[in-house]
Amino acid sequence: MKKNAVLLIIISILMLCVCTVRRKGNLTSRESKDFIIRYAMELTKNIKEKRKRKEKYEIMLKAVMAYYQAGKKEKGLKILSEVLENSMQLKDINDREDLLEKTAEKYAAIGMFSKAVEIAQKTKNRLQEDYTLLLISKHVPIERDELLHNIVTMIHNQHYRMKIFVRMACEAQEKGDRNKEALFLKQALDTVYKVEKIEGVYYQIRAYLELALIYNTFDKRPEALQLLSDANKRIQKEPADAAVQYLINETSPKFALAYARMGQFEKALGFVEKIQKPFFKVYGLGLIAEEYYKAGQKDTACDLLNKALKISETIRVTSMYWLFEDDFGSGISGKSHAKTYIVLKYLKWNKLNKALETAEKIEEIDYKIYSMIFFAEKYAENGHKERAVEILSKAFKQTITIEYYCSKQILLCNIAEVYMNIGQLQKALTVIQHIENDYWKADALMNIGIKHMKTGHTIDKQSKRLLEKMIGVRDK
């Protein structure tokens, strides 16, 4: 009996030693799963400024789907409930409406549609409620057509209604249901002609163009061409003033894209010639070049980008970093932004030498760094991870010398995310350590944590130490 007791004590001591060693070393797969996300959530507690309260909860919302996809639904729901409760307490009405919109969409994403609609109806702004309902509709399966039609009837904005019908038509096409496809396309078309009565000519033209591109993808070219013709005639009816010229500048690239996708390249180029503002002209030429490249006319595509590069030299305004978005060209705001847009096109076509020649002409330091990040992504995509890491290291060293505060934080977030994408967790965390603002730091850490959770990889002791050190760093 005494021997058994002694044996149990020895085994317990050994197990304690093993656990202690493990805690000091790498984490297990189970411990690693949401480790970074939990640290990001902890870091949001440091965000104290009133103007950042909304952003704090937006960071928390990012964790919801990660927990759901990992099978931890209770944790996801708990976060949603906490954010919803706090959103109603925000004093700034715009912050409150924005956060309600994002919370409603998360409820829809996890299938709680009634709750999502209930939250949408709490918004006081009619347009915001419509947009929130549009976001909710994107998560509703097409089989729930009664619910989708109910959402459509609740929306006042005709353009948003059209978007829902288009989505339903696309899904019907994927399922091979030609009758529903035709029905939903007809409903989208009927809706588009109602847009002007409520939203005005600007939104009507955008709706025409959007639907024309959709009709073309459905192989309904006559209908697409008719929509483009109607849109163009509608613009001609407006008085020739500055507002109409802006409308022409902004919509002509989309006209050009629609005609180029139908193979009518001369007509597409004609629309670009109408554009007076050089940054819109660069955007339009980039869109047409993309279609030429897809059609196998690669030399013509490169010639158009050369033309776009020359036009970019005539842009006199400074680039605005906050217009950096998914559709990089649609927010072109300056010379460096325009050149970076052209770099992206060349990289997409794997023409690295042409991309490098263009990148060397970029003047503003933040856009030089953006182009370096894009190069790193391309090298990684091509299987050259060492070269990608080398470029990111240079980008990081240049970024920490930037004086402009916001631009610096955003670039560091981007570099960290690309490091994570190529499996360099420690380097990603090292970059995040240099982010000086707790909001940006928590956001970057949350993005990294979500990506890490999907990999299922363990966290090594060096990364664990970096995380522990990071939590102790306060916002300056």
Q: How far apart are CA 33 and CA 278, in angstroms?
A: 49
**Closest-CA residue to 372 (of 418, 331, 313):** 418
| Per-residue pLDDT at 147 | 95
Please give the average per-residue pLDDT across 375-400, as a whole number: 96
Residues near 298 by beta carbon (within 8 Å), at least 6 away in sequence: 292, 349
| Per-residue pLDDT at 1 | 52
Whether the Cβ atoms of residue 192 and residue 228 lie closer than 8 Å to each other: no
What number of other Cβ atoms are within 10 A of residue 242's Cβ? 7
Please give the average per-residue pLDDT across 107-115, as a whole number: 96
pLDDT at 356 over 80: yes
Whether the Cβ atoms of residue 159 and residue 171 lie closer than 8 Å to each other: no
Q: How far apart are CA 256 and CA 330, in angstroms?
A: 13
Query: Helices 425-433 and 438-455: crossing angle, nearest 10°?
Result: 170
| Per-residue pLDDT at 4 | 57
The SS3 of residue 142 is coil
What are the domain boundaries of the chain?
A: 263-363
| Per-residue pLDDT at 333 | 64
Render 228-274 in DSSP notation, one character per residue.
HHHHHHHHHHS-SSHHHHHHHHHHHHHHHHHHHHTT-HHHHHHHHHT
Tokens of 228: 């483009």
pLDDT in tens, 207-250: 999 999 999 999 999 999 999 999 998 888 887 777 788 888 88
Q: What's the mean per-residue pLDDT of the chain?
A: 87
| Per-residue pLDDT at 15 | 46
pLDDT in tens, 123-134: 989 999 999 999
Render 354-389 in DSSP notation, one character per residue.
HHHHHHTT--SHHHHHHHHHHHHHHHHHTT-HHHHH
Q: How far apart are CA 264 and CA 132, in angstroms?
A: 37
Q: Which residue has the tokens 């990089």?
A: 328
Question: Which of 34-38, 137-141, 287-291, 372-376 comes out lowest in average pLDDT?
Answer: 34-38
pLDDT in tens, 413-424: 999 999 999 999
pTM: 0.85
Q: How far apart are CA 420 and CA 452, in angstroms?
A: 8
pLDDT in tens, 247-273: 888 899 999 999 999 999 999 999 999
Among 136-140, 143-147, 197-201, the range with the most confident prediction by mean pLDDT is 136-140
Render 294-346 in DSSP notation, one character per residue.
HTT-HHHHHHHHHHHHHHHTT--SPP-GGG--SSGGGG--SHHHHHHHHHHHH
- Residue 382 backbone dihedrals phi, psi, to 5 degrees: -85, 5
For Cα atoms 183, 185, 186, give the angle at the middle one, nearest 5 degrees: 65
Length of the chain: 476
The share of the chain scoring above pLDDT 90, in percent, equals: 62
| Residue 453, H or E segment | helix 438-455
Q: How far apart are CA 211 and CA 327, in angstroms?
A: 18
Whether the Cβ atoms of residue 378 and residue 394 lie closer than 8 Å to each other: no
Cα 48 vs. chain centroid, distance in angstroms? 26
Tokens of 43: 């870091």
Q: How far apart are CA 416 and CA 396, in angstroms?
A: 9
| Per-residue pLDDT at 22 | 42
The SS3 of residue 120 is helix
Q: How far apart are CA 37 and CA 79, in angstroms?
A: 12
Tokens of 253: 């690239």
Q: How far apart are CA 330 and CA 334, in angstroms?
A: 12
* Local structure of residue 163 (DSSP, 8 states): H
Handedness of CA 334, 336, 339, 344 (dihedral sign): negative
pLDDT in tens, 291-338: 999 999 999 999 999 999 999 999 886 655 433 334 544 555 688 999
Residues near 386 by beta carbon (within 8 Å), at least 6 away in sequence: none
What number of other Cβ atoms are within 10 A of residue 274's Cβ? 16
| Per-residue pLDDT at 71 | 86
* Local structure of residue 472 (DSSP, 8 states): T
**Which pLDDT band, with edges at 50, 70 and 90, does 199 fall under?**
low
Tokens of 187: 């409903």
What number of other Cβ atoms are within 10 A of residue 230's Cβ? 15
Whether the Cβ atoms of residue 257 and residue 213 lie closer than 8 Å to each other: yes
pLDDT at 365 over 80: yes
pLDDT at 14 over 50: no
For Cα atoms 275, 279, 280, give the angle at the middle one, nearest 5 degrees: 40
